[in-house]
Amino acid sequence: MAHGNANAHSHSHEGHHDLESLRSMGFWIFLMTDCILFGSLFATYIVLHANTAGGPTAHELFKMNGVIAETFILLTSSFTSGLAVLSMNQGNRKGLIGWLIVTVLLGASFITLEVTEFVDMVHEGAKISTSGFLSGFFTLVGTHGLHVSIGLCWMIALMIQIGRHGITPVTRRKVNVISLYWHFLDVVWIFVFTIVYLMGVM
């Protein structure tokens, strides 16, 4: 057993890079746990989707136009968040912030559409307390919406930080992490779209 200074916490500049890579790895693992969380919610939805207890069915309820618009908007925002990362890698701070703003706006319109859709449903008498099916539906889709909303707040906070500090190893990692998160939510939405909406109206 010898001793040395070559270690993850040494105070060289590499040390700092290492810290950032630890955090990215932690975030990947967090995403895995989030996958399991959504997996469990999908499972409950699938178990309950036929239990309408005399309430409206998926077929009667879903309006596909709005849902397709939501899907399109979210996919685009995933693309623009990718463009933000590209600008960052070119060292273009203005481009980075610009694309982040576009992403936030798209995300916000997605949420607006979703909330309108929910409000309409409730007005038609399809509430979370109406049936097992609707409990599963609102909880699954709502959890995804909550994730998107948290992502929006976080992105705005991040833009302020980039404005203050510029592109540093820390902000670079934060941008990478949030774009990862954003793509992840996109993938989850594709499952929501297929399993909840498409299979619901079919």
Which positions touch another protein (CB under 8 A)?
A: 1-11, 15, 21-23, 25-26, 29-30, 32-34, 36-37, 40-41, 44, 47-48, 51-53, 128-133, 135-136, 138-139, 153-154, 157-158, 160-161, 165, 170
Alpha-carbon distance of 11 to 7, in angstroms, equals: 9
- CB of 142: closest distance to another protein in angstroms? 10
Contacts with 132 (C-beta within 8 Å, 6 or more apart), sequence order: 48, 51, 52, 53
Contacts with 63 (C-beta within 8 Å, 6 or more apart), sequence order: 117, 120
- CB of 76: closest distance to another protein in angstroms? 26
3-state SS, residue 103: helix
Q: Which two tokens stand for residue 113?
A: 């559409």
- CB of 73: closest distance to another protein in angstroms? 25
C-beta separation of 64 from 41 below 8 A: no
Which lies closer to another protein via its Cβ, residue 73 or residue 97?
97
Which lies closer to another protein via its Cβ, residue 41 or residue 111?
41
Which lies closer to another protein via its Cβ, residue 39 or residue 91?
39
Which lies closer to another protein via its Cβ, residue 106 or residue 158?
158
Which lies closer to another protein via its Cβ, residue 23 or residue 93?
23
- CB of 38: closest distance to another protein in angstroms? 9
Alpha-carbon distance of 92 to 82, in angstroms, equals: 14
**Phi then psi dihedrals of residue 54, to 5 deg:** 80, -5
